[in-house]
Amino acid sequence: MFLAWQEIKYSKTRFALIIGVVILISYLVFFLMGLAYGLAQENRMSIDKWDADGIVLAEESNLNINMSMFSKDQIETIDAYEKASLGVTSSVVQPQEKTDEESKINVTFFGIDKEEFIYPGVIEGEGFSEENEVIADISLRDEQGINIGDELSLAGMDLTIKIVGFTDNAKFSVGPVLYTDHPTYQRIRASGFGEREDEIISAIAVRSDSGEISDITLSDNELNLYSTGEFISNLPGYTAQVLTFGLMIGFLVLIAAMIIGIFIYVLTLQKSSMLGVMKAQGISSKYIAKSVVGQTFLLSFIGVFTGLVLTLATGLILPAAVPYQNNLLFLVSITTLLIVVAVAGAFFSVRTVVKIDPLEAID
Amino acid sequence: MKLIELKDVKKTFKDGRKTIEALKSTNFSVEEGEFVAIIGPSGSGKSTFLTIIGGLQTPTEGKVFIKNDKFSELEEKDRATKRFNEIGFILQASNLIPFLTVKDQLRLVNKVEKSKIDDDKVEKLLSELGIDNLMDKYPSDLSGGEKQRAAIARALYHDPAVILADEPTASLDTDRAFEVVEILARETKKKKKATIMVTHDERLTEYCDSVYTMRDGVLTKNQ
C-alpha cells in the first residue's frame, strides 16, 4: 500500500481523473439501481403490503388480476389460515372543482373488507366507515396536493368519493391505490359490467399458518392458487422491466471493471522499466503485484464511495414523483461488487508485472 | 574474505544456429573493501558479466558465490531475496522511483521487509553522502549528481555485501563523475563492501584497487 499511496499522492491529477471516472460510473450504477428498485417497488409495493403467502385468481385470468373476476361467495371454497377478499379495478379520478386534463389521476381501486388483513394501516386521518369513503396512498397528498376531506369525482360516472385517510407504500402498477369497501367497489366496477346481484371480486389473498401455500386447499376448480412471488413476476411488464434494468446495471459494473482494469494496465506498462529496476533490486513480484492490486482497491474504494454519497445526496433532493428508492442490501452488494470486480480487473496487470524481466532494466 | 567469487563462469547465447560466447570461462573474485573497475568497449560483455554476478541471469556453466553462498544455484525467488539483502545496484539514471522522496526511497526497503525506518541511520547515511538536506525532495527536483548520490544511498542503505554499479557516471559531467566515484570508493573502504563498477571512462579508475578489461567476453586484469 505504501508505494500505491505515495504514487497517488505524487501524480494527483492523473489519479484524480481515474477516480473521477470511477465516481461517475458508480454514480450512474447506483442511481440506475435506485430507479430500477423504486420503479419495481411502485409496481408491487401494495402487494408486498398484504404480506400474503398466496393469491387466488380465477382460473381463466392467466395470472392477470385485471381479468380475474368471480363471486365473493366463492371465498368459502378456500381452506386457508387467513383469507382476504379483494376487488381490483383501475379508474381515473379528478378533484371535484377541477376540469382540466392535467388534474386527472390514474388510480387503482382496491375493494376490501374492513375486517380482513388487506385493510391498510392508516398513517393520517382515519379508516373508511361509510360508503364512498376511501383511504388513499400518501403520494396523492405529496404529488397532487390532495388532502383529507377532499372529494374526487370518477371519470365517466356520476359518483364522488371522499378521502378520509392516507396510508403509505400503497402503489400498484406505478399508480396510487385507493382502498374502499366492497359496496363502493361494486358500484365503480359496475360501470364495466353492469349491475349484478352478487358481489364481484378479483382475487383473494391468503395466508397459511406455516407460510407454505401447499397447506391451502381449493375446492372450486374455477379458481387457482398462486404464490405471491409468482403473481408479482407476472404483473404486466414487471419482469421485462426488472430484467432490462438488471442487464444495464450488470453491464455497467462490467464496464466499470474494464475501464479501471485498462487504466491500471496502461499505468503498469508505462512504469515497466521502473518496475524492472525494482525487481533488479530484489523487490519481489509479489510485493509489486500487491501494490498494483492495492492501488486499484484504493482507487475503486474512493471512487465507489464518493459515487455512493453523491447518489444518496441526489436521492434526498429528488422530487417525489421520481420513483427513486434506496435499498440497503442492493447498495451494499453493488458497492462490494464494483470494488471486487475492479480489483479483479487489476489482475491483468499482475501478469505483466510478473513477466517484466529485470535484465531489461540494466541493458 | 572473498565476498564475490566466480568459478569457471561461462555464458553462451543461441543466435539462430550459431552459439555466441558472451562470456568466456572466467575466474574472478573481489575481497571485502575492494573497489574493482571493469572497462571495455560496449558489447564486450561487461553488462552480461555484471548481471550474472547480480543474479539477474544465470551462467551457462560455472558457479557464482556471494559471501561463500552458491548464489547462481538458487531458485529465481530465493535469488531475488538474496539480491535484495546482499546486493546494491547503482544504474545509469532511472534507478530511483520517481514518485518517492529521497527518504521514502530508503523507507521502501523497510516496507518490503516489514520493518520500521531508522531515522538516525537515514540521516547519518544521507549526510555522509552530502544530501541530508534533500531528504524530502523528489528525484525530479535533484541534479544528476544528487540523483546518483541518492542511488548510492539506496544501494548502501540495506547494508549489502556487494555493490554493483553499471555506468554510474554516464549522465554526469567530469567533476560530478569524479565526486560520485570518490564517494563510492570511500564507502567501499569504510563499510567493507565489495564493489564492482562498470565504466567506459578510464580516468575514473584512479580510485579503484584493481582494474579489469573486458574484450570479446574475455576478462583480463590490467597491470
Measured distance CA(A105)–CA(A109) in Å, rounded: 12
Q: What is the pLDDT of residues A232-248, one digit of tens each?
A: 999 888 999 999 999 99
Nearest to B84 among A3, A273, A283 (CB): A283
End-to-end CA distance of chain A: 29
Nearest to A280 among B56, B85, B108 (CB): B56
Nearest to A2 among B81, B108, B138 (CB): B108
Contact criterion met (CB < 8 Å) for A362 and B50:
yes
Which chain A residues touch B111 with a CB distance below 8 Å?
A: 2-3
Measured distance CA(A143)–CA(A19) in Å, rounded: 37
Quick check: B52 contacting A, CB < 8 Å?
no
Quick check: A5 contacting B, CB < 8 Å?
no
Q: Taking each helix axis from N to C terminus, what angle separates A238-270 and A328-355, rounded to the nearest 10 degrees?
A: 30
What's the DSSP call for residue B64? Answer: E
Quick check: A148 contacting B, CB < 8 Å?
no
Chains A, B: CB pairs < 8 Å = 70
Contact criterion met (CB < 8 Å) for B80 and A361:
no
- The domain spans of chain A are 2-44+239-362, 54-215
Quick check: A96 contacting B, CB < 8 Å?
no
Q: What is the pLDDT along chain A (363 residues), one digit of tens a residue?
A: 899 999 999 999 999 999 999 999 999 999 999 999 999 988 899 999 999 999 999 999 999 998 999 999 999 999 989 999 999 999 999 998 888 888 899 999 999 999 999 999 999 999 999 989 999 999 999 888 899 999 999 988 888 999 999 999 999 988 999 999 999 999 888 775 666 667 889 999 999 888 788 888 888 888 999 999 999 999 888 999 999 999 998 898 888 888 888 988 998 898 888 888 888 888 999 999 999 999 999 999 999 999 999 999 999 998 888 889 889 999 999 999 999 988 888 888 899 898 988 887 766
Write down the residue that cell numbers 545496484 correspond to. Answer: B89
Contact criterion met (CB < 8 Å) for A363 and B100:
no
What's the per-residue H, E or C state across chain A?
Answer: CHHHHHHHHHCHHHHHHHHHHHHHHHHHHHHHHHHHHHHHHHHHHHHHHHCCCEEEEEHHHCCCHHHCCEEHHHHHHEECCEEEEEEEEEEEEEECCCCCHHHCEEEEEEEECCCCCCCCCCCEECCCCCCCEEEEECHHHHHHCCCCCCEEEECCCCCEEEEEEEECCCEECCEEEEEEEHHHHHHHHHHHHCCCCCCEECEEEEECCCCCHHHCEECCCCEEEEEHHHHHHCCCCHHHHHHHHHHHHHHHHHHHHHHHHHHHHHHHHHCHHHHHHHHHCCCCHHHHHHHHHHHHHHHHHHHHHHHHHHHHHHHHHCCCCCCCCCCHHHHHHHHHHHHHHHHHHHHHHHHHHHHCCHHHHHC
Measured distance CA(A61)–CA(A76) in Å, rounded: 20
- pLDDT on residue A192: 59
Chain A neighbours among B 29-48 (CB < 8 Å)? 47
Quick check: A287 contacting B, CB < 8 Å?
yes
Which chain A residues touch B108 with a CB distance below 8 Å?
A: 2-3, 283
Which chain A residues touch B80 with a CB distance below 8 Å?
A: 279, 282-284
Contact criterion met (CB < 8 Å) for B56 and A359:
yes
| pLDDT over 70, % of chain A | 98
Q: Per the structure block, which three cell numbers stand in for B81?
A: 531475496
Here the ipTM equals 0.87
Which chain B residues touch A287 with a CB distance below 8 Å?
A: 112
Quick check: A355 contacting B, CB < 8 Å?
no
- pLDDT on residue B222: 87
**How far does A267 lie from chain B, in Å, by closest CA?**
13
String of DSSP letters for B121-170: HHHHHHHHTT-GGGTT--GGGS-HHHHHHHHHHHHHHT--SEEEEESTTT
Q: What is the pLDDT of residues A18-35, one digit of tens each?
A: 999 999 999 999 999 999
Quick check: A354 contacting B, CB < 8 Å?
no
Nearest to A358 among B56, B85, B100 (CB): B56
Q: Per the structure block, which three cell numbers stand in for B136?
A: 524530502
Residues B64, B9 contacting (CB under 8 angstroms): yes
Q: Considering the entire predicted model, what is its pTM?
A: 0.80
Residues B177, B201 contacting (CB under 8 angstroms): yes
Q: What is the pLDDT of residues A125-134, one digit of tens each?
A: 999 999 899 9
A125 backbone dihedrals φ, ψ, rounded to 5°: 80, -145
Which chain A residues touch B112 with a CB distance below 8 Å?
A: 283-284, 287
3-state SS class at B27: strand
- pLDDT on residue A97: 83
Contact criterion met (CB < 8 Å) for B54 and A280:
yes
Tell me the C-alpha to C-alpha distance, in Å, between residue B65 and each of A120, B48, B50, B156: 86, 16, 13, 20
End-to-end CA distance of chain B: 22
Which chain A residues touch B74 with a CB distance below 8 Å?
A: none
- pLDDT on residue B188: 93
Number of helical H runs and strand E runs in chain B: 6, 10
Mean pLDDT, rounded, of chain B: 90
**How far does A274 lie from chain B, in Å, by closest CA?**
7
Contact criterion met (CB < 8 Å) for B111 and A11:
no
Chain B neighbours among A 227-256 (CB < 8 Å)? none
Which chain A residues touch B166 with a CB distance below 8 Å?
A: 362
For an interface test with B, which of A357, A362, A363 has the most B Cβ atoms less than 10 Å from its Cβ? A362
- pLDDT on residue A13: 95
Residues B2, B30 contacting (CB under 8 angstroms): yes
What's the DSSP call for residue B87? Answer: E
> What is the number of other CB atoms lying within 10 angstroms of the CB of residue A302?
17
| Segments of chain B scoring below 50 in pLDDT | none
Q: Per the structure block, which three cell numbers stand in for B162?
A: 556487494
Q: Which residue of A has its CA nearest to B105?
A: A3
Q: Per the structure block, which three cell numbers stand in for B143?
A: 541534479
Options 1.20.120.1760, 3.40.50.300, 1.10.3660.10, 3.40.50.740; which CATH number does B2-221 get? Answer: 3.40.50.300
- pLDDT on residue B95: 77
Q: What is the pLDDT of residues A188-232, one digit of tens each?
A: 887 756 666 678 899 999 998 887 888 888 888 889 999 999 999
Quick check: A313 contacting B, CB < 8 Å?
no
Residues A93, A146 contacting (CB under 8 angstroms): no
Nearest to A11 among B99, B100, B107 (CB): B99
In 3D, which of A143, A71, A72, A83 has the Cα closest to residue A107? A143
In 3D, which of A18, A23, A20 has the Cα closest to residue A4? A18
Quick check: A275 contacting B, CB < 8 Å?
no
Which chain A residues touch B47 with a CB distance below 8 Å?
A: 362-363
- The domain spans of chain B are 2-221
Chain A neighbours among B 140-199 (CB < 8 Å)? 154, 166
A121 backbone dihedrals φ, ψ, rounded to 5°: -70, 130
A2 backbone dihedrals φ, ψ, rounded to 5°: -55, -55
CA angle A290, A294, A296 (to 5 degrees): 125
Measured distance CA(B167)–CA(B199) in Å, rounded: 5
Measured distance CA(A210)–CA(B23) in Å, rounded: 84
Count Cα atoms within 13 angstroms, Cβ side, for B135. Answer: 14
